[in-house]
Structure 1
């Protein structure tokens, strides 16, 4: 089972590297605008994806200018024009996350969304200034009964988070 899981996970990482490299670079440039202008990058993740915020705030290499985005809109800060939100979503059709993205979009906040792509017109990615496809739409491992399990959304999101972080670091070094 571990070999199948590893193979599947490597396939996802390779797809992200091949297909999302430009979106990752665009996202990092977008985030650099907030850092360079001394504004904030708010990070959002629901349930297991709150782990991204912990990585951004408490890792040995914290993300620059990062703050948590509260889940409840009444707790949101007064956004400045150059503030950005980096939003991680395990599903492109979660209604709460879609409403959060829509409200941020209405407020004119720059929004980078990392989620699986969806063909629906009402998906969350329609509110993003930059969308990065998570490339994870179903569990990776088959059960004997035909069902599937093993949905590593945090692991794949962390891969994208680090890709954004490394690219942002390169951009900021070029700027200085």
Structure 2
């Protein structure tokens, strides 16, 4: 089972590398605007994807200008137009994630959204300045009863997070 999981996960990473390189670069460029102008990048992820926020804030290589993005709108900061949001979603059409993306769009806040695209694209992508497809649409492993399991949304999101982080660092080094 571990070999199948590893093969499937490697396939997801390869599809991201091949298909999402330009959106990752575009997303890093949008986020660089906040860093260069001394503004904030608010990082959002709920449930298991709150792990992204921990990585951004407390890892040995924290994300530049990162701050936590509250899930409840009444707790949101007073955004400035140069602030950006980096949003991670594990499902393409989660109603609360969609509402947050819509409200950020209405406020004119730059949004880089990471989510799997559905059959008709990712609804959250309609409100994002840049959308990165996580390629993780269903669990990776087949069960004996025909169901599937093994949905590593945090692992896949961390891969994209690090790709954004590395690209952002390259952009910032070029800027200096």
TM-score category, normalised to shorter length? over 0.9
1:87 is matched with 87
CA distance in 2, matches of 1:49, 1:140: 18
2:5 is matched with 5
Answer whether contact 2:24 2:163 (CA < 8 A) is retained.
yes
CA 1:160–1:75 in 2, change beyond 3 Å: closer, same or farther?
same
CA distance in 2, matches of 1:155, 1:113: 16
Instruction: Could you list the structure 1 runs, at least 4 aligned residues long, displaced by more than 4 angstroms after superposition.
Output: none
**Structure 1 residue 149 and structure 2 residue 146: aligned?**
no
1:42 is matched with 42
1:136 is matched with 136
CA distance in 2, matches of 1:52, 1:121: 23
Q: Tell me the number of residue pairs that the alignment of Structure 1 and Structure 2 aligns.
A: 176
**Structure 1 residue 107 and structure 2 residue 104: aligned?**
no
Per-residue CA distance 1:112-145 (angstroms, 9 max, x = gap): 0000012447811110100000000000000011
1:62 is matched with 62
CA distance in 1, matches of 2:119, 2:44: 23
Answer whether contact 2:92 2:122 (CA < 8 A) is retained.
no
Which structure 1 residue ranges, 5 or more long, are not aligned? none
CA 1:162–1:80 in 2, change beyond 3 Å: closer, same or farther?
same
CA distance in 1, matches of 2:70, 2:92: 20
Per-residue CA distance 1:91-131 (angstroms, 9 max, x = gap): 11000100010001000000000000124478111101000
CA distance in 2, matches of 1:165, 1:58: 14
CA distance in 2, matches of 1:54, 1:137: 24
Which structure 2 residue ranges, 5 or more long, are not aligned? none
SS state of the match for residue 81, structure 2?
Answer: coil
1:127 is matched with 127
CA distance in 2, matches of 1:122, 1:114: 9
Q: TM-score, normalised by structure 1?
A: 0.98
SS state of the match for residue 101, structure 2?
Answer: helix
SS state of the match for residue 4, structure 2?
Answer: helix
